[in-house]
Amino acid sequence: MGVTVSDDSAALGQGPGCVIVDFTRPEVTMAHLAIARSTATPMVIGTTGLSASDEQKIAEAASDIPVVYCANTSVGVTLLSRIVSDVARALSDDWDIEIVETHHHHKIDAPSGTALALGHAAAKGRGVSLDAVRDSGRDGETGARKKGDIGFAVLRGGDVAGEHTVSFFGQQERIEITHRATGRIIFARGAVEAARFAASAPNGLYDMTDVLGLSSD
């Protein structure tokens, strides 16, 4: 197929039209980001579990190269995030928001990057910071649910590629929005589209809404 397979990271960013696509571990992503920046190579980052410091380095690198950074490259999840933000904006904080995510038993970070991205979308819709309202752990006598919190629950098992449900609980009614990934090929297709976008984009930090041509207001 004319594709060179190598374990030499130094080979990244070599040749015209090259884009570095990274779905690895945070420490590896940061090493690849340094290569991308030093070789002026566009980059697509789908790694989750990155720290605030890592994200700051990504933002800094985006001043020199195009970077598409997103927790999930699927079209469906990108649209789900938009819908979640719109619904949260339309409802008062009397509606409780809970996010449940399920993944295979090999996944090592929780909540998933996609679940957190959905939480950020809901918080953005409400005009608040997720850090201020996030509730990721309930065990024992926790007391009543705090008004305005955004809760997370995590399931791990089998070979589940990824399932995310955002529930809005009102009085005598509930809204549930779900995305189910039945295979990982959807992430690869999205990553290819992101790479095509990054290859011709100006320097800057982008996400999948930019790749799909959606407004990110």
Catalytic residues: 103, 107
* Whole-angstrom distance, CA of residue 77 vs CA of residue 72: 7
Tokens of 51: 């720290």
What is the dihedral angle through the alpha carbons of 101, 105, 107, 112, rounded to the nearest 10 degrees?
Answer: 10
Query: What does the angle CA 122 – CA 80 – CA 60 come to, to the nearest 5 degrees?
Result: 70
Query: How many CA atoms are closer than 13 Å to the CA of 186, on its beta-carbon side?
Result: 14
Query: What does the angle CA 140 – CA 141 – CA 147 come to, to the nearest 5 degrees?
Result: 115
* Whole-angstrom distance, CA of residue 88 vs CA of residue 67: 28
